[in-house]
Structure 1
Amino acid sequence: MRIGMKMLGISGTIIGEKTSSVVRKVVKHAALLEPDLKTEMLDLRDYEVQFCDGRNPAAYNLDTQKVMAAVLSADCFVIGTPVFQASMAAPLKNVFDLLPPDAFRDKVIGFIATGGTYQHFLVIENQLKPIAGYFRAYVTPDYVYAHRDHFNDRHEVVDASVLQRIKGLARQIVEMSKALQGIRTAAG
């Protein structure tokens, strides 16, 4: 992996802690796998992101510009959302709407979703993966879906199979990103 490659974890909600907890675990594990990987966490609870309305990016408030800049400066991503009404959280969709079409082009994305039913994993398949396709991103084969029963009362994942999927997702993001970096370097 080239020096300076950066993974950005995005917790795409402004409420709750479960999604952020899982995203942070993937980012942390990726950093353990690849010591040269720079990591950053973007928790939308920490920002006052304005709604996308088509204005010039420089006209948005500072928090909105920081979020856009963080995404544009990253080389790979782990993006998480809770599932509400069988859909991704609105703050995450707003971030996607704010970004230019090439924001994720040729970059690797691993997805996470958390929810209250065991069928909500379908949001990853039916909504998040098509959005990544629009952005021309590479999506990891695996993803992590965590049900509320997979957490303890401190919002930490305690389910062994989910913990294994977290490690697997981190590995896939790192390995795919390294492979793509190698291809780019070889192509000159």
Structure 2
Amino acid sequence: MARSNRLKILILSASTGGTKTKRITTTFYNLMKESYKTEHDIRYLNIQDKKIQFSDGRNYLDYSGDTLEVASAIMESDVIMFGAPIFQASIPAALKNLFDLLPVRAFDRKVIGLIITGGSLRHYLVPETQIKPIIHYMHGVIIPKYVYAIDTDFNTDGTVNDEIELRLQTLLDDTISISETYKEVWNKQDDMFGF
């Protein structure tokens, strides 16, 4: 049985404050729509527009409203691009709460990418030491490279500079190539076992 290689892609801005994470993830979303809107289903969510409950250990399906919407969008996606800021040399509580709302194997057979903003170059390794281990634990396939942007990577009008836009385009192309390859392999495995 032939399966669709169409990807469900979610770009999620996981910041409750500020504008840089929203701006850079919106730029990524627009680049993706320009390149792949007819080939894949692409969705953008910004948790600044949502009222997300704190995780209390329930199954994500037992939540309601925005919390259920965001958790379900994550669970239904093949590819998730998390955008998040770095605060106090650590991941933001909003992103950790999203992870806590989900089951342990939430990222199984999902490709995960990262777009990170920070106030200093000193924190560019925080995703390596704090975010990637969580994604691995939740069984995600991580895009090896991520985009890290600081204040000077944004123009005075709020747009990202050319270097960051080029890096976003590279991340986008890598994400699609890796995701399509994994989807094809997983579909073949499912067909082989009759799933």
Length-normalised TM-score, structure 2 = 0.89
1:32-181 equivalences under 5 Å are 32-34=34-36, 35-158=38-161, 160-181=162-183
Q: Name which of 17, 20, 37 aligns with 2:19.
A: 17
Once the two structures are TM-superposed, the CA of residue 95 in structure 1 deviates from its matched residue by 0.4
Give unpaired runs (5+ residues) of structure 2: none
Q: SS state of the match for residue 88, structure 1?
A: coil
The aligned amino acid for 2:121 is Y
- Measure how far apart 1:153 and its partner are: 3.3
Seq. identity, %? 35
- Compute the displacement of 1:69 (Å): 0.8
Aligned residues: 187
Counterpart residue identity of residue 185, structure 1: N
What is the CA distance between 1:55 and its match in structure 2? Answer: 2.9
Does the residue aligned with 2:115 lie in a helix, a strand or coil?
strand
Q: Distance in 1 between matches of 2:121 and 2:87?
A: 13
Query: In the TM superposition, what whole-angstrom CA distance separates every residue of 1:84-139 from its partner, at most 9, and x where no partner exists?
Result: 10011111110000001122112111111101111211111111111111011111
RMSD over aligned Cα atoms: 1.7
Q: Structure 1 runs of 4+ off > 4 angstroms?
A: none
Partner Cα separation in structure 1 for residue 140 and residue 22 of structure 2: 22
Structure 1 residue aligned with 2:31: 29
C-alpha distance in structure 1 between counterparts of 2:22 and 2:13, whole Å:
5
Compared CA separation, residues 118 and 183, structure 1 to 2 (3 A): same
Cα distance in 1 for partners of 2:7, 2:163 equals 29
Structure 1 counterpart SS, 2:114: strand
Q: Can you give the 5+ residue segments of structure 1 that lack an aligned partner in the other structure?
A: none
CA shift, 1:71, in A, is 0.5
Contact 2:7 2:180 in 1 (8 A): no
| TM-score, with structure 1 as normaliser | 0.92
Partners of 1:7 and 1:27 within 8 A in 2? no
